[in-house]
Amino acid sequence: MISKAFKRSLWVFHVNSGSCNGCDIEVIAALTPRYDAERFGIKLVASPRHADVIAFTGPVTNDMADKVIRIIQQTPDPKVIVIVGSCGISGGVFHESYHLAGPIDRLYPNAKYFYVPGCPPRPEAIIHAFTKAWEWLEEVEKK
């Protein structure tokens, strides 16, 4: 299973769509030596056009809504999105705010979503979500 799953490296584009930085530092912590996601080939890239998966942290603020949609459109198909943190899933502590454009899955429903609840989630949970996304991508590839 592992040899199959880790056949290729998974490239991730990370977007902060109005997060408090809590999830962002955990995403970076997942890449640095203690958790070391890079040993699996999971790597942050600087352009959405290079990415297999997009990781969003934070609720989507009104200012970021159009940028978020543009970024999703720029990534190649199939569009796989990992939402890191509770506030990206439901708004979290920020729900009902006047400046939120709503959860990403409502802004852009035509994508495969993986959710990592937690405020912030632990680095292990973040890596787990990426491996889930990976398995899903491989199943799609088989079809």
Binding site for another protein (CB under 8 A): 13-29, 32-34, 44-47, 58-59, 61-64, 67, 71, 87, 92-94, 96-100, 119-120, 122
Nearest distance, CB of residue 90 and another protein, angstroms: 14
> Minimum Å distance from CB 108 to another protein?
15
Q: Write the DSSP assignment of 60-117 as a string of letters.
A: PBHHHHHHHHHHHHHSPSS-EEEEESHHHHH-GGGTT-TTB---HHHH--SSEEEEE-
Nearest to 54 by CA among 91, 110, 89, 10: 10
Q: Which is nearer to another protein, 71 or 83 (CB)?
A: 71
Q: How far is the CB of 131 from another protein (least distance, A)?
A: 20
CB of 107 to another protein, least distance (A): 15
Distance CA 48, CA 53 (A): 9
Please identify, using beta-carbon distances, which residue of 4 and 34 lies nearer to another protein: 34
> What is the SS3 assignment for 1?
coil
47/73 with CB nearer another protein? 47
